Chain A
Amino acid sequence: MRGPALSLALAALTAPALWAEEIGDVERGQEAFVLCSGCHLVGAGVEEFEMLGPHLNGIYGRRAGSVEGYAYSEGLDRMGSDGLFWTLETLDAYIENPTVLVSGTRMNFDGVPDAEERADILAYLRLYSDNPRDIPEAEPTALPTDPELRLPPEVLAIEGDAEWGEFLAGECLTCHLEAGGNEGIPSIVAWPEDLFVIAMHAYRRGLRPNPTMQMMTERLSDEEIAALAAYFAQLE
């Protein structure tokens, strides 16, 4: 299975383009892609092969969850419908920690903590996206932008005030059912607190696309997010 991807990648390496070097090192990226290749293929013709994960040809500019015939998680489908497109920034965030961007993703992967290694992988993947030169020039230099992509441990360690969370939760319960339920609006009850916190921060920073959620989280402090996480975690 890995054959076609690797050989084609090597062919591409013979003519590295300028844009690729702006992101990271393609050759190192190819090596690092071993982490991904257990589930994902990239390269000409790999669309025919069924793997655990979708193929990554043309990933740049693609809507999340849009490879025809692939059974995505509900969370990834929702993010795609909400308007999540794969860009340098969103791919970087996803590879760094998949659950930041997509709650309930099937991509069971701890993530790549090293920003340079991610940049290399992204440079390698970009060989297989159509018209990569059409990607706005500003983006490559914008990566890796955010040294705080991974939430600082002290933010994750905040102990939430569940009673305060109960009051704040009033804002959530206009739309989200306290008994759970995923019709049109996802369930937010009984999540592990850290995943809840990570997801809210991703909306607050605009990494996740839904404008209602971006607005709702924009004014939440770190303590308020922790309070909500504590409150909702105890509901079943």
Chain B
Amino acid sequence: MELRRRTFIGAGAAAAATLSAPMVMGQARPRVVVVGGGSGGATAARYLAQDSEGALDVTLIEPQRVYYTCYFSNLYIGGFQEMDALGHTYGKLASDFGVNVVHDWAVGVDNDARTVALASGGSVPYDRLVLSPGIDFVDGSVPGWDVTAQDAMPHAYKGGTQAVLLKAQIEAMPEGGTYCMVAPPNPFRCPPGPYERISMVAHLLTQINPTAKILIVDPKEKFSKQGLFEEGWNNHYAGMVERIGPDFGAANVSVNPDAMEVDIDGTVESVDVCNVIPAMKAGRICEMAGVTDGNWAPVRPENMQSRIDPNITVLGDASQQGDMPKSGFSANSQAKVAANAIRGELTGSRVFPARYSNTCWSLISTEDGVKVGAAYEPADDKISSVSSFISQTGEDAELRKQTYEESLGWYEGITTDMFG
């Protein structure tokens, strides 16, 4: 028997417990609505419900019944994970923690009436709203591509079917064919993600199509873990990977999905698979709720509260908070700080000083794992990095294997933390 993880105590006892709630008068229980059931939203819903022990009415709105994590989808492409193992459901959030899980799309927010409109009609009232919708793509960022082209040129930058499609296309490439990635400009979800994907595509092609080529068209001068990835590509996939940076026109790229062509500053390349990862912005519900400024939703560093609407908290990729990378780990970390703050505000429970952290593991080849991480605190009106580390080039195989195994442990850990 754990002392902390008490079984949800039921609505009757819960209603009685709210008598001590100081902030919201004249209603049964303060209501928190969470939109988006990923690393930020699922974690926030769980911790709000679990730690308040019924004192809060927590509703999670998430359209998908099975949530496929975006992280580890590269390992699926590389053949190190099964897609089924990356799918998670919300049953325990409901049964073990008392979260009301609503599988629907949130299609609007009325900030004054404090309601969220659902696609199926009807609306859900809230005292506090948590938005954790992840990312959407910026229209026109890669001329010639929009979401209607995502079957011909997948982004595979949200979990699930897109990764399956991309892998199938790579497996169907002609012998000696070309896989091209149009990499995204900063800031974007999972900074090492595109380059881990290159590693995993190279791993797959080395086995099934060893004369194939990989072309990265990258608008950025440099990228996360660059030294580690380049070392790994050289060691494991020599001669397979070519990267064109902005000095050779990669910032001026357009695509033609019908012809499977990529135009790099006037030079047209025919490719067999084209993985377009466009520029990103906050998930659309943030715009609808009026909490964005430009592409992202600015938040306060001490609790992730929106700078525009104090009744709204924005977590994860959609938020603009300072130094933290857009990652599942970051969103999970932010969600716990936000849940502590919201619960304190609505029920008078103890609020502790915010602290955040992140670590991103990447797999370069079989048992060749690397990681980068940092610790963060609110400072100078943003979330600021206070210390960091990164794997070193030239590390021995035993350490790299350990780092990879650690990443498997992390995946188990974070998904259990999110979904119970």
A residues lining the B interface (CB < 8 Å): 63, 78, 80-83, 163-164, 166-168, 170-171, 173-179, 181, 183-185, 211-212, 214-216, 218-219, 231, 234-236
Interface check B350, CB cutoff 8 A: yes
Given contacts A177-B412, A211-B373, 9 further A-B contacts (CB under 8 A): A170-B337, A178-B5, A178-B417, A184-B405, A184-B412, A185-B413, A214-B389, A215-B374, A234-B3
Residues of B close to A173: CB separation below 8 A: 413, 417
Q: A170-B47, A211-B373, A212-B371 are in contact. Are A63 and B398 (CB under 8 A)?
A: yes
CB–CB A82/B402 < 8 A:
yes
CB–CB B5/A174 < 8 A:
no
A236 to B51, CA, bound (A): 18
B389-420 residues at the A interface, CB under 8 angstroms: 389, 391, 398-399, 401-402, 405-410, 412-414, 416-417
A82 to B409, CA, bound (A): 14
Considering residues A170, A171, A234, which has the most beta carbons from chain B within 10 angstroms of its beta carbon? A170
For residue B340, give the distance in angstroms from its CB to the closest CB of chain A: 6
A108 to B320, CA, bound (A): 51
CB–CB A218/B413 < 8 A:
no
CB–CB A174/B386 < 8 A:
no
For residue B204, give the distance in angstroms from its CB to the closest CB of chain A: 23
Interface check B71, CB cutoff 8 A: no
Residues of B close to A179: CB separation below 8 A: 416
CB–CB B352/A164 < 8 A:
yes
Residues of B close to A218: CB separation below 8 A: 375, 387
Interface string of B304-342 (1 = CB under 8 A from A): 000000000000000000000000010011001100100
Residues of A close to B336: CB separation below 8 A: 167, 170-171
Residues of B close to A163: CB separation below 8 A: 350
CB–CB B409/A184 < 8 A:
yes
A78 to B5, CA, bound (A): 29
CB–CB B47/A212 < 8 A:
no
A78 to B1, CA, bound (A): 29
For residue A183, give the distance in angstroms from its CB to the closest CB of chain B: 5
Considering residues A82, A171, A177, which has the most beta carbons from chain B within 10 angstroms of its beta carbon? A171
Residues of A close to B410: CB separation below 8 A: 174-175, 184-185
Who on chain A is nearest to B413 by CB? A175
Considering residues B2, B410, B413, which has the most beta carbons from chain A within 10 angstroms of its beta carbon? B413
A218 to B1, CA, bound (A): 32
For residue A65, give the distance in angstroms from its CB to the closest CB of chain B: 10
CB–CB B389/A215 < 8 A:
yes
For residue B132, give the distance in angstroms from its CB to the closest CB of chain A: 16
Across the interface, A235 reaches (CB within 8 A) one of B3, B329, B352, namely B3
CB–CB B401/A81 < 8 A:
yes
Interface check B4, CB cutoff 8 A: yes
A8 to B414, CA, bound (A): 53
CB–CB B413/A219 < 8 A:
no
Residues of A close to B412: CB separation below 8 A: 177, 181, 183-185
Across the interface, A175 reaches (CB within 8 A) one of B350, B388, B409, namely B409
For residue B90, give the distance in angstroms from its CB to the closest CB of chain A: 19
Across the interface, A176 reaches (CB within 8 A) one of B377, B401, B413, namely B413
Interface string of B348-392 (1 = CB under 8 A from A): 001010010101000000000001011101000000001111010
Who on chain A is nearest to B375 by CB? A215
Residues of A close to B414: CB separation below 8 A: 174-175
CB–CB B3/A82 < 8 A:
no
Who on chain B is nearest to A65 by CB? B398
CB–CB B399/A174 < 8 A:
no
Who on chain B is nearest to A81 by CB? B402
Q: A176-B413, A185-B409, A185-B413 are in contact. Are A215 and B357 (CB under 8 A)?
A: yes
Who on chain A is nearest to B339 by CB? A170
Across the interface, A83 reaches (CB within 8 A) one of B332, B355, B399, namely B399
Residues of A close to B357: CB separation below 8 A: 171, 174, 215-216
What would 9 A/B residue contacts be, using CB atoms closer than 8 Å?
A81-B401, A168-B355, A170-B337, A170-B340, A171-B355, A173-B413, A184-B412, A185-B406, A218-B387
Who on chain B is nearest to A179 by CB? B416
A10 to B344, CA, bound (A): 69
Q: A80-B398, A171-B333, A183-B408 are in contact. Are A177 and B355 (CB under 8 A)?
A: no
- What 8 A-B pairs are tightest by C-beta distance, nearest first? A184-B409, A185-B409, A170-B336, A81-B402, A211-B389, A184-B405, A175-B413, A167-B352
A59 to B106, CA, bound (A): 62
For residue A2, give the distance in angstroms from its CB to the closest CB of chain B: 33
CB–CB A174/B329 < 8 A:
yes
CB–CB A174/B398 < 8 A:
no
Across the interface, B359 reaches (CB within 8 A) one of A78, A212, A234, namely A212
A235 to B3, CA, bound (A): 6
Residues of B close to A216: CB separation below 8 A: 357, 375
